[in-house]
């Protein structure tokens, strides 16, 4: 109220409470009234009024009001009887509607309308149907506009950031009093026609324009502009691109409602391209801000810039082939023949840029190094690079992909072709390219031949003639008709390329390694044959030939003429005359021991050639000379077979052969063919004639018990005829490896197959029987069945039992645990004679017909019953037979005898046909 009660400067308000401590006193006073200005032309005055308020116990607070007071003449149509003597209306603008004192009306306008309104009798509201009041309200828009323009423009030294807050006085929101809406509409009409909206000038000068002439920018672009200004970019011409730009202080989301009221639009998308180009932002800002500019364009491209002139402005920084910064537009980058490139790895960028000068045909332009360096750490790198790839057709390249492009673009310019070879050499030297990628580029790389021609398709390559070894050897080039390309001499010269120095012959060595540029000895021989190799050659001729072959190299002996002329000529001198190389053996320490075994072997004549010939082993091997152990083995094997077929092997030869086997069996490689021959051929003399090792036995004492009962092929260890003497035993290990049987446990097959048991059992000692049973056991263990005739051979009385010597099917293996019989009760094998080990041969005994279950031998026991005279023994046997349910065989009369006791320990055996039953003791009562 102090705003309108001009005679009162201070008010005090006291609030009394029942609790004295809670009572408060508030004082409100006009503390400052300044900036008073009078404007006679419009009968108005303005001033700033500051009110201070102080409440007991609290600090003083202040607030300010901008007051506008203006007089308007009363129109005749608005006069009323109550105000007939008043010719002027005086209006003040502040929040609410006041008629000198406040009313209860709330306008929702951000200013007060204070005037001499006619009110209702209760002073609660203005009478809107009163002509007087209507006249006052019609003057409000003019008064507001005068006050607003004065407020905004009257303080030229006020900072630009203070202006936007003044626009909060605009009645942006509709009034809750609909009758005041025309006042709001008229204010908007006047504001829209007034140059009142502040524009961005980036200078001390303030520029105001109509709202329709001003446009807003995207917040991200404002950030770019502010940062650009910090870098010294001149932005004073910001509004010279066809549109005034709203002040950056005003262009904020907090003023969206005000700007919507003013109908301020967003700037046309075309403006951004004009601004970026006109302000030279791309060149003048640092790399990080440049990338933020690209990011801004990228994120708004699809929906905002794709169809604008943004395609045509110089937006992309790159380095041309003269190493100078160049600016490209998107249309050039995406539609031109050259391609913008980004190095896949920053460390290769400067390398690629420097070499790009050498290859104008590559059509590659690289991003500026500083830009890519900044891009590596840019937070939105993926967005920018994806946009560049999609819309600028930018390519990520490495050294290999760049090389692939260059090699496909090389024309017939010799300089570029040789430069590319230097590029590959230095890229490999600095490890900028992987080995397999280098090989691919080398295969695709064209070359310059000795005539200066660019050759793109080639099979074989030769180094330049000058200084080559092939010229020294041949004198002329015999490889022309074989399709060889001779390289240009330019490849061996030194030179500078892209700041890198290549010394003389370095490039040639690189070509030898990676495109197989060949020189003697690493070159295929010419197709013309060596005719001199078809006859016997002198020592000097042979060494010349071997040196030639050494030059050619192992992998290049492919021309058939050379192979035939060298391989099949009778020019190699051996110990038995001139022979083809394939018929001769070199004396090698690996098989020298074998050469002592066999006479007549064609060994190369060291006396003729001298020891130097040994240094050409590889070359001799190419001619067909027997150099490899396997080949020597085959040759010596054939000699051995011939000697065996003629039975010409002597004791010394056999022992030497075994000695060689001992020496060579642990070496690598093994003479497989010879060893196989030694295992299969019949070259060992035995007691049964010549046998192969697998059919021979080396005699030891363990074989002695078996000698009387089998014809065994023991190796002859005598000293006469073909005997090998006792020295043969020193080769036990070697003979065993070759297949000779040494141990009895491994010789069961020999014993079983040659078994011959004599009729007299006297020679069947315990050792002989146990050895035979061991052989049978081992034979069965191998899963083999006994031969059909073995049963006939075994069916002899050779096993000692309690009833004398018996055949295998005529005695029983005694087992006291399973029978009540005693060993003397029947034909049981004599365990006391053979020992406890006999039980371990149970299965073997069963296989030759022995009864091994006592309870199954009742027939044999009954057959020998008549031999017993002792009553207890006979009773024991009877009980055994009864338990086994034994019944006599009607056809066999030998077991129909009955023991008739006479004395307590005496009696006699009587045929059952001569007996009558007398059972006084009821022994058979259960049966009878």
Give the H/E segment covering residue 98.
Answer: strand 96-99
| Position 96 confidence tier, pLDDT thresholds 50, 70, 90 | very low
With helix as H, strand as E and coil as C, how does 559-623 read?
CHHHHHHHHCCCCEEECCEEECHHHCECCCCCCHHHHCCCCCCCEECHHHHCHHHHHHHHHHHHH
Crossing angle (nearest 10°) for helices 219-230 and 287-299? 160
Report DSSP state, residue 870: -
Give tens-digit pLDDT for 352-362. 999 999 998 88
Is the pLDDT confidence value at 535 over 70?
Answer: no
Q: What pLDDT score does 268 carry? A: 93
| Position 60 confidence tier, pLDDT thresholds 50, 70, 90 | low
Q: Which of 772, 744, 747 is nearest to 758 (CA)?
A: 772
Residues 649, 650, 652, 655, Cα dihedral to 10°: 50
| Position 95 confidence tier, pLDDT thresholds 50, 70, 90 | very low
Beta strands in 194-324 (DSSP E): 197-199, 207-209, 214-216, 244-245, 265-266, 316-319
Give tens-digit pLDDT for 650-678. 888 888 888 888 887 777 667 778 888 88
Residues in the chain: 928
Q: Which of 47, 50, 51, 91 is nearest to 67 (CA)?
A: 47
DSSP string, 190-206: HHHTSS-EEE--SSSS-
Mean pLDDT for 33-43 is 63
Q: Which of 75, 44, 5, 76 is nearest to 154 (CA)?
A: 44
Q: How far apart are CA 225 and CA 275, in angstroms?
A: 10
Give tens-digit pLDDT for 556-577. 554 455 566 677 778 788 888 8
Q: What pLDDT score does 557 carry? A: 53
Query: 31 vs 780, which has greater pLDDT?
Result: 780
Q: What pLDDT score does 193 carry? A: 92
The structure's pTM equals: 0.54
CB atoms under 10 Å from CB of 529, counted, come to 17
Mean pLDDT for 400-405 is 94
Q: How far apart are CA 665 and CA 658, in angstroms?
A: 10
Task: Write the CB contacts of 589 (distance below 8 Å, at least 6 apart in sequence).
Answer: none
Q: Which of 417, 413, 462, 407 is nearest to 439 (CA)?
A: 407
Is the pLDDT confidence value at 477 over 80?
Answer: no
Task: Write the CB contacts of 348 (distance below 8 Å, at least 6 apart in sequence).
Answer: 398, 399, 432
């Amino acid at each position: 109220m102090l705003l309108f009660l001009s005679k009162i400067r201070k008010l005090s308000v006291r609030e009394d409470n029942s609790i004295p401590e809670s009572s408060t006193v508030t004082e409100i006073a006009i503390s400052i009234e300044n900036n008073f200005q009078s404007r006679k032309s419009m009968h108005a005055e303005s001033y700033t009024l500051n009110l201070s308020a102080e409440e007991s116990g609290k600090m003083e607070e202040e607030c300010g009001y901008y007051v506008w007071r203006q007089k308007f003449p009363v129109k005749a149509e608005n006069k009323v009887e109550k105000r007939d003597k008043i010719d002027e209306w005086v209006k003040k603008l502040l929040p609410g509607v006041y008629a000198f004192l406040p009313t209860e009306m709330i306008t929702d306008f951000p200013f007060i309308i204070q005037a001499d309104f006619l009110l209702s009798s209760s002073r609660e509201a203005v009478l809107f149907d009163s002509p007087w009041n209507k006249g006052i309200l019609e003057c409000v828009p003019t008064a507001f506009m005068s006050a607003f323009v004065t407020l905004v423009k009257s303080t030229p030294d006020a900072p630009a950031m203070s202006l936007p807050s003044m626009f909060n006085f605009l009645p942006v929101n509709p009034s809750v009093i609909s009758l005041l809406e025309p006042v709001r509409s008229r204010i908007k009409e006047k504001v829209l026609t007034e140059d009142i909206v502040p524009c961005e000038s980036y200078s001390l000068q303030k520029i105001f324009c109509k709202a329709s002439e001003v446009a807003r920018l995207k917040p991200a672009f404002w950030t770019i502009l502010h940062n650009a200004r910090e870098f010294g970019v001149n932005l004073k011409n910001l509004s010279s691109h066809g549109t005034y730009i709203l002040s950056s202080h005003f262009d904020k989301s907090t003023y969206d409602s005000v700007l919507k009221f003013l109908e301020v639009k967003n700037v046309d998308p075309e403006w951004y391209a004009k601004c970026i180009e006109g302000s030279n932002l791309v060149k003048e800002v640092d790399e990080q801000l440049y990338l933020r500019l690209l990011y801004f364009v990228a994120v708004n491209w699809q929906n905002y810039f794709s169809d604008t002139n943004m395609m045509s402005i110089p937006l992309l920084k790159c380095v041309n082939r003269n190493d100078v910064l160049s600016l490209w537009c998107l249309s050039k980058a995406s539609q031109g023949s050259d391609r913008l490139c980004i190095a896949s790895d920053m460390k290769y960028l400067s390398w690629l840029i420097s070499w790009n000068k050498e290859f104008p045909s590559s059509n590659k332009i690289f991003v500026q190094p500083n830009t890519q360096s900044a891009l590596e750490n840019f937070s939105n790198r993926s967005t920018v690079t994806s946009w560049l790839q999609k819309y600028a057709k930018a390519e990520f390249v490495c050294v290999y992909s760049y090389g692939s492009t260059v090699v496909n673009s090389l024309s017939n310019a010799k300089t570029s072709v040789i430069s590319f070879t230097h590029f590959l050499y230095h890229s490999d030297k600095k490890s900028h390219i992987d080995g397999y990628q280098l090989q691919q580029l080398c295969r695709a790389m064209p070359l310059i031949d000795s005539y200066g021609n660019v050759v793109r398709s080639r099979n074989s390559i030769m180094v330049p003639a000058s200084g080559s070894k092939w010229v020294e050897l041949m004198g002329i080039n015999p490889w022309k008709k074989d399709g060889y390309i001779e390289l240009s001499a330019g490849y061996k010269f030194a030179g500078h390329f892209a700041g890198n120095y290549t010394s003389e012959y370095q490039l040639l060595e690189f070509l030898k390694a990676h495109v197989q540029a060949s020189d003697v000895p690493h070159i295929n021989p010419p197709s013309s044959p060596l005719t001199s190799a078809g006859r016997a050659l002198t020592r000097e001729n042979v060494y010349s030939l071997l040196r030639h072959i050494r030059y050619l190299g192992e992998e290049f002996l492919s021309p058939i003429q050379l192979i035939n002329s060298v391989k099949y000529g009778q020019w190699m001198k051996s110990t038995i005359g001139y022979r083809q190389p394939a018929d001769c053996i070199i004396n090698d320490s690996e098989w020298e021991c074998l050469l002592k075994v066999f006479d007549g072997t064609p060994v190369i004549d060291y006396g003729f050639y001298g020891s130097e010939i040994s240094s050409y082993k590889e070359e001799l091997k190419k001619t067909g000379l027997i150099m490899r152990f396997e080949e020597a083995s085959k040759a010596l094997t054939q000699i051995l077979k011939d000697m065996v077929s003629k039975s010409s092997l002597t004791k010394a030869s056999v022992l030497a052969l075994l000695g060689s086997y001992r020496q060579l069996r642990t070496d690598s490689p093994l003479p497989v063919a010879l060893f196989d021959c030694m295992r299969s051929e019949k070259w060992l003399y035995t007691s049964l004639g010549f046998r192969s090792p697998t059919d021979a036995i080396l005699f030891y004492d363990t074989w002695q018990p078996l000698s009387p009962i089998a014809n065994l092929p023991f190796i002859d260890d005598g000293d006469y005829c073909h005997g090998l003497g006792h020295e043969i035993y020193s080769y036990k290990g070697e003979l065993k490896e070759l297949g000779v049987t040494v141990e009895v446990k491994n010789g069961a097959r020999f014993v079983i197959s040659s078994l011959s048991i004599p009729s007299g059992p006297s020679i069947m000692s315990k050792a002989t029987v146990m050895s035979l049973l061991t052989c049978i056991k081992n034979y069965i263990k191998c899963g083999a069945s006994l031969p059909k005739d073995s049963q006939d051979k075994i069916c002899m009385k050779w096993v000692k039992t309690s009833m004398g010597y018996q055949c295998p099917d005529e005695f029983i293996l005694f087992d006291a645990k399973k029978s009540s019989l005693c060993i003397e009760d029947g034909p049981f094998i004599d365990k006391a004679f053979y020992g406890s080990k006999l039980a371990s041969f149970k299965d073997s005994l069963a296989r030759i017909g022995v009864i091994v279950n006592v309870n199954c031998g009742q027939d044999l026991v009954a057959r020998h019953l008549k031999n017993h005279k002792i009553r207890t023994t006979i009773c024991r046997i009877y009980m055994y037979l009864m338990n086994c349910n034994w019944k006599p065989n009607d056809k066999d009369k030998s077991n129909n005898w009955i023991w008739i006791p006479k004395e307590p320990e005496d009696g006699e055996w009587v045929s059952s046909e001569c007996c009558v039953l007398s059972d006084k003791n009821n022994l058979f009562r259960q049966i009878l």
